[in-house]
Amino acid sequence: MSVKSNPRIPILDEVADQDFHDTAIGCGLDPGNRWIGGYVNVEWARLRHILQEHFPCLEGLRILEFGCNIGASAIVAAKLGGRVVGVDVDETLIRLARLNIKRYGVQRLADVEHIRPERPLPFGSESFDIVMANSVFEYVAPPYRKAAFHEIDRILKVGGTIIVTGTSNRLWPKEVHSGKWFSNYMSRSYANRTRGGSPQGIFPWEILRHFPNYINLDKADHGRSFISIRKMFGDSKFKIVLLRFASVCALLTGQSIGVFASNYSAVLRKKSRKAP
Q: What residue ranges do the domains of the chain occupy?
A: 41-115+123-175+201-270
Write out pLDDT tens, residues 199-248.
889 999 999 999 999 999 999 999 999 999 999 999 999 999 999 999 99
- Range 52-71 average pLDDT: 96
Distance between CA 76 and CA 4 in Å, rounded? 10
Going by pLDDT thresholds of 50, 70 and 90, the confidence category of residue 198 is: low
Q: Residue 125 — very low, low, confident or very high, per pLDDT cuts 50/70/90?
A: very high
Burial 25-37, CB ≥16 within 10 A → b, else e: eeeebebeeeebb
- Say if CB 259 and CB 250 are below 8 A apart: yes
Question: Please, what is the average pLDDT of the chain?
Answer: 92
Least confident residue range of 55-64, 111-120, 175-184 = 175-184
Reported for 18-25, long-range contacts at CB under 8 A and 24+ positions apart, including other chains, are 19/99, 19/103, 20/96, 20/99, 20/100, 20/103, 23/95, 23/96, 23/99, 24/96
Give me the phi and psi of 98, to 5 degrees please. Answer: -65, -40
pTM, to two decimals = 0.92
Query: pLDDT over 70 for what percent of the chain?
Result: 93
Q: How far apart are the C-alpha atoms of 146 and 144, rounded to whole Å?
A: 6
Tell me yes or no: is domain 41-115+123-175+201-270 CATH 3.40.50.150: yes
- Angle at CA of residue 11, ends 5 and 12, nearest 5°: 105
